[in-house]
C-alpha cells in the first residue's frame, strides 16, 4: 500500500554469559540459571502496514528460513492476533537474516520479539508489556527475554527475569564454525548424562568489566559438553578463540554453536576477529559490544 506506515528494528543476538542447567523435570522442562546480554549485531526486521500478514526473508542466512511456515515471527504474530481478537496483524514483513541459524544466539526469539513490538506500535494495539511478554514466552524459553533486549538474570524455564543494570559493556568476538547445534538435540544429549544444577551464583562484588570476566571464569555453560559431543567443530572454535592473545575467556553461548570470546577492550576484540577470520575464512566471525 502506497503511503502505508512502516518501521524497522534490529533483533540483536542474545548471549548467555553463563548457563547453568538442572536435570529435566517431570513436566519435560529443564530449570536453568543464566545471565544473558545482547550484542550490537543482529537481524533486521522491517514491517509495513498492509492488507494481510506476510513475511519475506533475505540476507546471508535467509535461504535456510525461506518458505518455512512455522517461522517464530509468524507464530508470534498469529498468537498476538488471537490474544487481541483482531486476527493476524496485517503487516508485510521483511527479515534480513544476518545471524546464523541454530547458533545459540536466540535469533528466532529475538526476531519474534521485534515483530511483536513493531506490530503493537504500527497498529496501535491496546496491549501492555506484561501481556506482550506472555505472548512472547509462547515462542520458546528465550521469548520473554528477547522481547525487550536488556541484560537480565533468567531463571525457572528462562521466563523468570530480573534486569541487571549494573553489568557494564563487554567487548567480545563471536565465532560460529558453520555447523548447526539444534537446541532439542543438545538437551537430549545433556539428559543422557546430566552434570549440572540450575544454581545462580552470587553476583560479583565489583562490576567493572575486568572483574566481571574474572567472575565469569568460575561459572560455566552446562550445555557445552553435550554440544561438543554432537558437533566437535564447536571445540575447534573454542580452542581458536581461547588462543587469541586478547581473549580473556572463551565459552559457548546457549546451546551452541556460537562461541563468545570476552576481551579487555575494543581493540583486542577487533584483533581477535581479524585473526580468526583470516585463519578460518569459512567461519562467521564478528567483533561486538555486549550490553552496549
What confidence tens digit (pLDDT) does each residue in 11-22 have? 999 999 999 999
Q: Which of 14, 96, 222, 271 is catalytic?
A: 14
pLDDT in tens, 217-259: 999 999 999 999 999 999 999 999 999 999 999 999 999 999 9
pLDDT in tens, 178-227: 999 999 999 999 999 988 999 999 999 999 999 999 999 999 999 999 99
CA 7 to chain CA centroid, nearest Å: 22
Least confident of 3-7, 72-76, 101-105: 3-7
What phi and psi values does residue 71 have, to the nearest 5 degrees? -60, 140
Locus of grid cell 492476533:
81
What's the whole-number mean pLDDT along residues 100-129?
96
Helix (H) or strand (E) holding 193: none
Distance CA 237, CA 289 (A): 19
Question: Does the annotation count 69 as an active-site position?
Answer: no
User: Would you give the DSSP letter of residue 245?
Assistant: T
pLDDT at 2: 47
Q: Is the pLDDT of residue 68 over 60?
A: yes
Query: What single string gives the DSSP state of each residue in 125-175?
Result: ----HHHHHHHHHTT-TTHHHHHS---EEEEETTTEEEE-TTPPPEEEEEE
pLDDT in tens, 131-153: 999 999 988 889 999 999 999 99
Q: pLDDT tier at 3 (50, 70, 90 boundaries)?
A: low
Question: Does the annotation count 206 as an active-site position?
Answer: no
User: Would you give the DSSP letter of residue 221?
Assistant: B
Q: pLDDT tier at 69 (50, 70, 90 boundaries)?
A: low
Q: Is the pLDDT of residue 177 over 90?
A: yes
CA 181 to chain CA centroid, nearest Å: 13
Q: Which of 43, 96, 111, 142 is catalytic?
A: 142
- Category of 106 on φ-ψ map: left (φ > 0), alpha (ψ -120 to 50) or beta: left
What's the whole-number mean pLDDT along residues 285-291?
98
Q: Determine contact, residues 138/102, Cβ cutoff 8 Å.
A: no
Helix (H) or strand (E) holding 198: none
Amino acid at each position: 500500500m502506497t503511503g502505508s506506515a512502516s518501521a524497522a528494528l534490529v533483533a540483536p543476538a542474545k548471549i548467555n554469559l553463563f548457563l547453568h542447567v538442572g536435570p529435566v523435570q517431570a513436566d519435560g522442562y529443564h530449570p536453568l540459571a543464566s545471565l544473558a546480554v545482547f550484542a550490537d549485531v543482529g537481524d533486521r526486521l522491517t514491517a509495513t502496514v498492509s492488507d494481510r500478514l506476510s513475511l519475506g526473508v533475505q540476507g546471508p542466512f535467509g535461504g535456510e528460513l525461506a518458505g518455512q511456515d512455522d517461522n517464530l515471527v509468524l507464530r508470534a504474530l498469529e498468537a498476538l492476533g488471537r490474544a487481541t481478537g483482531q486476527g493476524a496483524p496485517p503487516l508485510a514483513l521483511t527479515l534480513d537474516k544476518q545471524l546464523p541459524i541454530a547458533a545459540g544466539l536466540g535469533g528466532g526469539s529475538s526476531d519474534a520479539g521485534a515483530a511483536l513490538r513493531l506490530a503493537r506500535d504500527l497498529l496501535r494495539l491496546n496491549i501492555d508489556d506484561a501481556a506482550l511478554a506472555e505472548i512472547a514466552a509462547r515462542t520458546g524459553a528465550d521469548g520473554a527475554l528477547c522481547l525487550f533486549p536488556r541484560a537480565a538474570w533468567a531463571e525457572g524455564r528462562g521466563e523468570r527475569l530480573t534486569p541487571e543494570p549494573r553489568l557494564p559493556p563487554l567487548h567480545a568476538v563471536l565465532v560460529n564454525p558453520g555447523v548447526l547445534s539444534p537446541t532439542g538435540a543438545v538437551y537430549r544429549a545433556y539428559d543422557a548424562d546430566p552434570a549440572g544444577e540450575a544454581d545462580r551464583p552470587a553476583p560479583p562484588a565489583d562490576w567493572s568489566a575486568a572483574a566481571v570476566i574474572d567472575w565469569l571464569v568460575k561459572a560455566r555453560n552446562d550445555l557445552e559438553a553435550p554440544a561438543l559431543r554432537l558437533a566437535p567443530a564447536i571445540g575447534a572454535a573454542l580452542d581458536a578463540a581461547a588462543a587469541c592473545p586478547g581473549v580473556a575467556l572463551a565459552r559457548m553461548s546457549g546451546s551452541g554453536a556460537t562461541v563468545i570470546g570476552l576481551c579487555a577492550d575494543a581493540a583486542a576484540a577487533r584483533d581477535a576477529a581479524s585473526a580468526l577470520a583470516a585463519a578460518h575464512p569459512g567461519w562467521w566471525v564478528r567483533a561486538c559490544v555486549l550490553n552496549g
